[in-house]
A and B are shown apart, each in its own frame.
Chain A
Amino acid sequence: MSEYIKLDSEKISEAVKTIQDFGGTGILKCVQCGACSAVCPGVKAGFPVLCRLLIKKVLNGQLEEIIEETSTWGCQACNRCTEICPQGVRPQEVVFAFRRYQANDLAFSTSAMTSQMNLHSYGHAVFTDATELRKKVGLPPEAPTSAYNEKAQKEIQTLLENSPMGELGLY
């Protein structure tokens, strides 16, 4: 039996405004042609609610209903969708706007916390002690990045703590 959706104009306006405010400014240009989904590696891999379908659900006002949806976190940010979209929607910007909506309600995988903590502590989302590996290939043990630079770490911590990310209690 098919699932019927009761459209609610207030919910639709609110959903569209939320996504636009988070950066998905082109969402209303979408005509649901599906070109984005046809080239999306996430859709090909089996994440269902990406590109066309994600946009459709937002345009139906179903924002809250899909807040726990994990498909958006499978987006590779490759921007094939943006390149191919004939309407100038820039679908990746919509996908990331939806991610921001989710993230600001902390609706993301706890596994993503490590990269946020690493970014705050070392200035790197991916950080491992590579001292031995670096010496092995003839490089100085410490990379010339924020990982070993106290001033740079202080700078990124100041920027993150004073940003909306700082208000989420991530650090």
Chain B
Amino acid sequence: MEKLGLYLGCNIPFKAPDIEQSFRKIFPALGVEIEDLEGATCCPAWGTAPSFDLDTWCTISSRNITLAEDKGIDIMTGCNSCYGVMNEAKHFIEDSPDRKKRVNANLKTIDREYKGTSNVFHVSHVLYEKVGPEKIKESLVYSLDGLKVAIQPGCHILWPSDVYPVQEKNSFFPTILKELTQALGADVPHYSRLEFCCGMGGMRSTDVEKSLKLFTDKLMSMKEEIDPDMIVTTCSSCFLQFDMSQQILKERGVIDFSIPVFYYTQVLALALGFDPAQVAAISQTPRDEMIAEIQSDKRKIQK
């Protein structure tokens, strides 16, 4: 059984722990052992150290990577931003022997050393490359057959592709999440703003109205072009944006609908038969009806 270090980041353990629980349920069931990276910190988020000092960013990121190196395993993260921040830090460190020396001098003050022996993967990459859509398909208890899904891959697992250990064939037309969602039996039609930004992140904290403007464009593209039964993402920030902001737009009278939103591993956990009270229990946008639909008797796969 392959073993990976579970790096939680900030959003998942403190705002959406049901996503964390979905990781803890599905990966052992699919043959991937996960081990906690005790004492891991923030990646650090773009608005913190990366906005102040490049070496400090690389030092804090590499401290997290040393936690996995100590165990001789790779890292798996469910947050796109953490994936981007830590892989870019690795790129900056490994691109410059001088920076590597400075980073290790910083780490020496806390008795650590960055060696560069652990890779940082995203949850979706582990599911796609190490588990594979076929195994996911074979493990299902419930099928999403006939349900229409709008997917939201998120930005930071796509660009800049030259620093990432796993790349899409064409990062402006990503297909990994599409194939993973199709493996559940769902229909995943294309919509024109597939790779567009949802407006979360620095934009939301700098100017919420601009963020909502971008979000509305994205949401309306999904609604008008494919009218999905649900939205599925592999980015915890995108999840929070789609979950929170639909309610804001509804209260303002901008939209008169709402579309249930899931992190991919939540919908997979439901399709594997896990308890919704553990793996999909926290959301502002209502999704109970969709959860009941997914786990309905008529969707049970006869084996």
Interface residues of A (CB under 8 A from B): 22-23, 41-42, 44-47, 70, 73-80, 82-83, 90, 92, 96, 99-100, 103-104, 108-109, 111-112, 115-116, 119, 123-128, 130, 133-134, 136-139, 143-147, 149, 151-152, 155-156, 158-160, 162-165, 168
Contacts and interface: CB of A to CB of B under 8 A. Distances in A.
Interface in B200-229: 200-203, 205-207, 210-211, 213-214
B177 interface: no
Interface stretch (B52-60, B70-78, B116-124, B179-187): B52-60
Contacts of B278: 137-138
Contacts of A151: 39
Contact of B15 (A22, A130, A149): A130
B251 to A, nearest CB: 21
A22 to B, nearest CB: 7
Nearest to B59: A159
A105 B231 CA distance: 42
A165 B201 contact: no
Interface of B: 8, 10-11, 13-15, 17-18, 20-21, 24, 36-42, 44-56, 59-60, 63, 81, 84, 106-107, 109-110, 112, 155-156, 158-161, 171-172, 196-197, 199-203, 205-207, 210-211, 213-214, 277-279, 281-282
Contact of B214 (A44, A145, A165): A44
Contacts of B206: 47, 70, 73-74, 109
Nearest to A80: B159
A19 B18 CA distance: 42
A99 B41 CA distance: 23
A159 B8 contact: no
A109 B208 CA distance: 14
A23 B52 CA distance: 11
A137 B52 contact: no
25 contacts: A41-B199, A46-B210, A70-B206, A73-B202, A74-B202, A74-B203, A82-B159, A83-B158, A83-B160, A83-B161, A115-B45, A124-B42, A126-B10, A126-B42, A137-B18, A137-B21, A138-B21, A139-B20, A145-B38, A145-B41, A155-B39, A155-B112, A156-B41, A159-B56, A163-B49
Contact of A165 (B10, B39, B52): B52
B53 A164 contact: yes
A73 B210 CA distance: 12
Given A74-B206, A155-B63, A143 B46 contact: no
Contact of B282 (A92, A100, A137, A149): A137
Given A46-B210, A159-B109, A164-B52, A126 B15 contact: yes
A113 to B, nearest CB: 10
Contact of B55 (A77, A134, A163): A163
A50 to B, nearest CB: 11
Contacts of A123: 40-42
Contact of A124 (B10, B171, B200): B10
Contacts of A90: 160
Given A100-B54, A119-B42, A156-B41, A79 B48 contact: no
A97 B237 CA distance: 24
B202 A125 contact: no
A96 B40 contact: no
A146 B38 CA distance: 7
Contacts of B44: 119, 125
A79 B159 contact: yes
Contacts of A143: 8, 13-14, 17, 20
Given A41-B214, A128-B15, A162 B20 contact: no
Contact of B51 (A47, A100, A111, A152): A100
Contact of B47 (A125, A144, A152): A125
Contacts of A134: 13, 17
Q: Which of B18, B45, B160, B282 has the most CB of A within 10 A?
A: B160
Contacts of A147: 13-14
Given A151-B39, A164-B53, A115 B48 contact: yes
